[in-house]
Amino acid sequence: MRQTELLISLKNLKKNLQIIKTNTSSDIQAVIKANAYGLGYNEVVECIENDVESFAVITLNEAISLRKYTNKPITLLQGVHEISDYDYIEKYNLDFVVHTHWQVENLSKFNLNQSRIWFKLNTGMNRLGFDQKDFGDVYEKLKSLKAKDLIIMSHLAASSEPENKLNNAQIKLFNEITAGATNKKSLANSGAIFNFPNAHFDIVRSGIAIYGGKYLENGLKPVSKLRSKIISIRKVKKGECIGYDGAWIADKDCRICYAPIGYADGIPYFSSCRKINIDGKQFLTVGKVNMDLIAINLENDNSIKVGDWVEFWGFEDDLTKFSKNFDTISYQLMTNLSGRVEKNYLE
């Protein structure tokens, strides 16, 4: 069996939730879209369910799958994508965001007494959400519905950058728009939990922080380790090329090892050298990453053997820094891993 795996520390997952809880008095919604950032719904929900008030996903299929594992509220962060989706909202008792007019127009036709409506405002991100001028009219329409609850929300665009002036501008506008509303409110994402306590309100929505993909300076730990066992080592002479298109040519005699992992497993495509760890030592990849294989230059190190683990990231690595090595971000590294990478849960 191919030895390429994602190790997942449930202990670190639980610890991260506890750290988040110590940084806020608000309720916590766990954002577990994209199959819990690639870690798997079932195990993640079982681990953290008692620490959160609800869960959030993007797609209806995600929500329906997740409903098998929890009775807690599940929010569709983009709301419905077509009006008929409200039938499933009713059937599975789902919460949902409304961020545009057409999503509101036919709401009165549906039984929403088991659903919370999340009324999304645009406070400066200019992505999804109602503008300030529309607040009063839409707010009155939503209040008239017999929903389980109405929560007012928005989304910060730069919460990981404490000095970015957009944050305080958004918080100020959110307060101004919602000043007369007594409903629960939600504005803070992961970055705001640590950087903007004045944005916490009633419910904070944490995603990447739960999985230790960012904000490690606050004590968070990465939850996953990606590794693959070397399956072959060959000696290469000076002047010989490696892989597709002969993209890399050895400038001296060396040893090249091969790990059975590639872009079909979610590794970002690259054609220039990238740093990789083997047994605590750092080496460079060579040539173009393949669909199923990566070549690594061991130079003249004879200590590395077939069967040794090539570690892409580990439980002590800062994924934000590591992701720059592959010209991407930690979110993409985590969520792009394919189903053929075996998941093994620890603790």
Q: Are residues 273 and 125 in the same domain?
A: no
Q: Are residues 117 and 257 in the same domain?
A: no
- Compute φ and ψ for 224, nearest 5 degrees: -130, 160
Q: What is the distance, to the nearest Å, from the Cα of residue 8 to the centroid of all Cα atoms in its chain? A: 14
Q: Are residues 179 and 41 in the same domain?
A: yes
Q: Are residues 202 and 231 in the same domain?
A: no
For the chain, the domain total comes to 2
The whole-number pLDDT of residue 55 equals 98
For residue 307, what is the domain's CATH number? 2.40.37.10
The whole-number pLDDT of residue 114 equals 94
Establish if 4 belongs to a structural domain. no
Q: Which domain holds residue 98?
A: 9-214
Establish if 2 belongs to a structural domain. no
Q: Are residues 42 and 125 in the same domain?
A: yes
Give mean pLDDT, residues 200-219.
96
The catalytic position among 238, 244, 275, 281 is 244
The whole-number pLDDT of residue 281 equals 93
Percent of the chain with pLDDT over 70: 100
Q: Are residues 154 and 275 in the same domain?
A: no
Residue range 277-334, pLDDT digits in tens:
999 999 999 999 999 999 999 999 999 999 999 999 999 999 998 898 888 999 999 9
Q: Are residues 208 and 238 in the same domain?
A: no
Establish if 68 belongs to a structural domain. yes
Establish if 342 belongs to a structural domain. no
Establish if 346 belongs to a structural domain. no
Establish if 322 belongs to a structural domain. no
Give mean pLDDT, residues 130-149.
95
C-alpha distances in Å from residue 176, one per residue of 64, 123, 127, 181, 186: 36, 10, 20, 10, 14
For residue 20, what is the domain's CATH number? 3.20.20.10
Give the total residue count for the chain.
347
Confidence check: pLDDT of 106 > 90: no
Confidence check: pLDDT of 78 > 90: yes
Q: Are residues 102 and 208 in the same domain?
A: yes
**Residue 244 annotated as catalytic:** yes
Establish if 17 belongs to a structural domain. yes
Establish if 209 belongs to a structural domain. yes
The whole-number pLDDT of residue 1 equals 84
The whole-number pLDDT of residue 248 equals 94
Give mean pLDDT, residues 162-186.
96
Q: Are residues 228 and 304 in the same domain?
A: yes
Q: Are residues 198 and 231 in the same domain?
A: no
The catalytic position among 33, 120, 214, 225 is 33
**Residue 86 annotated as catalytic:** no
